[in-house]
Chains A and B, each alone.
Chain A
């Protein structure tokens, strides 16, 4: 059975990109959220196997959302998507419980290799 993923990003382009990359690789995209509040709610109701999480978003940012998701589900696997120049935010996210990260602009190979490592394949 294919692993299920929740995509979180406030930009449509990024959501589409990640959807394309992950679906083509055989993962099942079970939901897309555009900010942290949606992400937390959708994680709770959908129980994905892993999450891709943008950092800077309105209403609730990715770091806060990660913190809440991990608090509710300590086994949650969250991969942060960061832009250039946001290293300190990535560190904060890791301390908040993020499992790993990718930096934009990324190639599908990079995304998939991080996802595979995170899932332990």
Chain B
């Protein structure tokens, strides 16, 4: 019996992605692990993740993945046995392994061929080799085999986000100036993200104008030094043949923890949600009808109708709960981001996570990642003081950041706190006056809470010179707009010298709808695409029976200007215009609009009482542009 591997691939991919997420958290946690027991627990977890990724890949016969995961496992065993130290170099290598596996998994997801990662395999091979030759290939071994010729040595800033990528850019620029005779490290190694000592050596064939070399390299960010010389020293014998050495010791077998989880497609959840909404409506209608029955019949039926309504509401609640996911998915990305920030800013930082199991609507998770990372960066960069300043202020040298999430009835609060210098209200006020948002007198009169909100003004410190940053709030207006689009708000608080807090307050449940945007005179309305059967252009003509009809989607349908249904002014000049084909209670109609504006996905915000009683309104939404629109419930309007 042949295994139908094709159908298993999507499952493997989503499984692998979860393991890779878990791997990332565990690896970053390794660096700051408390004691032996904590470290061992993380290493065991790492092994489990790699083992799962390897197992699935082996079954699907995806060799590059199983090969890489296998070496990852071997490395973890070495660390467990104390043969390899759990230091920063190890963490870097494990992260590179995770990234390598992730790149492969994403290619599998796209049904594209998966390339092996020779450089990564080589690095892992060396790390697990018996002679314990260390994790970082030495720079001396690297420059061994270069030919003679003009030698350009490029030094990349070690704080650069991706030193190897900058090396590649340098290489390409030099390649445009002349023929490259050799490089160290070799191009393949660079392509895999390795740049030992952050140094690139390129040997050019023949003579190349030094000025051109320097001016080209000046255009590559993070290049801190360029040396040009004639290559005098003879090539040294090469060390290391780069061959893999796979250990043959038996593996420790670990039992993965059992958890009851079922994977469900997002579409299914959305369908369930829609169905349960319909059920709630239907059961309400039923209940209403029973009220009009003669008294004798009423009691029994009323009881049943009530029971039905209760059951439906319970089910509806469950379905809504299914849309919830723990905020952990969001929080798990932060440790690695923080580690990277700590390196780039050259500042020690720690992160504590509270309330990782707090749940919020899945639709929000993805949209929150970028704003959250941005706020984290702000806190790390502007909030946390330099180590010297912190020492003087009697604070621990490491900047403390906290991610906290909590649920309050119908909302979820997510905040990032830091123990830094707090918002600089003086600078905020000054900057607001500078950009012309306030007069000096107004700035003085502004109370502190108001001054904090100045951070949200467009232009506040997104404009900045190298040293004059306005104290805080880089891009806070973009953050606020993004959160408002999700139906939430952003609150800022701060204590000078002690720290500050950025809090997102979000609705607990969210529905994202795909909207067709139409214009009627000056107004723009949103219509859920799921309610539009077809869209066409036509000119309504009077039919024999006196009604106006238009041809849409091959059918002659009753035509109504949507503007008239909404009792709003619209363009009444005759002619061809867009029409939406809608269906209600089995009948179809064509609704005319003045223009089709576009299509957009947006968070549907339900209307509060008493507006939710208005027939034909589904709610409101804020578009990406920031414009609020009314969302129509067409079937109700047409009925």
Contact = CB atoms under 8 A, between A and B. Distances in A.
A21 B193 contact: no
Nearest to A61: B110
Interface string B170-196: 001000000000000000001111000
Contacts of B624: 12, 15
Contacts of A101: 162, 165
8 nearest interchain CB pairs?
A13-B482, A103-B161, A105-B377, A24-B463, A105-B373, A16-B478, A17-B478, A12-B624
B264 to A, nearest CB: 21
Nearest to A19: B478
A14 interface: yes
Given A11-B367, A101-B165, A105-B377, 14 more contacts: A15-B624, A16-B482, A21-B462, A84-B333, A84-B340, A88-B99, A91-B164, A100-B220, A103-B161, A105-B341, A107-B474, A108-B462, A117-B220, A120-B219
B336 A84 contact: yes
Interface in A9-50: 11-17, 20-21, 24-25
Of A13, A84, A107, the most chain B CB neighbours within 10 A belong to: A13
Interface string A69-106: 00000000000001011111111001100011111111
A94 B170 CA distance: 11
B607 interface: no
Interface string B468-479: 000000110111
Contact of A85 (B24, B371, B376): B24
Interface residues of A, number: 38
Nearest to B24: A85
A94 B165 contact: yes
Of A11, A16, A109, the most chain B CB neighbours within 10 A belong to: A16
B374 interface: yes
A118 interface: yes
A87 B164 contact: yes
Interface residues of B, number: 51
A115 to B, nearest CB: 10
Interface of A: 11-17, 20-21, 24-25, 82, 84-91, 94-95, 99-109, 113-114, 117-118, 120
Given A13-B479, A118-B219, A104 B370 contact: yes
B232 to A, nearest CB: 32
Contacts of B477: 20
Nearest to A22: B462
Given A14-B370, A24-B463, A87 B220 contact: no
Of B95, B100, B374, B459, the most chain A CB neighbours within 10 A belong to: B374
5 contacts: A12-B367, A24-B463, A88-B193, A101-B165, A105-B376
A91 B376 contact: no
Given A24-B459, A25-B463, A91 B193 contact: yes
A107 B504 CA distance: 21
Contacts of B219: 117-118, 120
Nearest to A82: B162
Contacts of A85: 24, 95, 98-99, 102, 336
Nearest to B99: A85
B351 interface: no
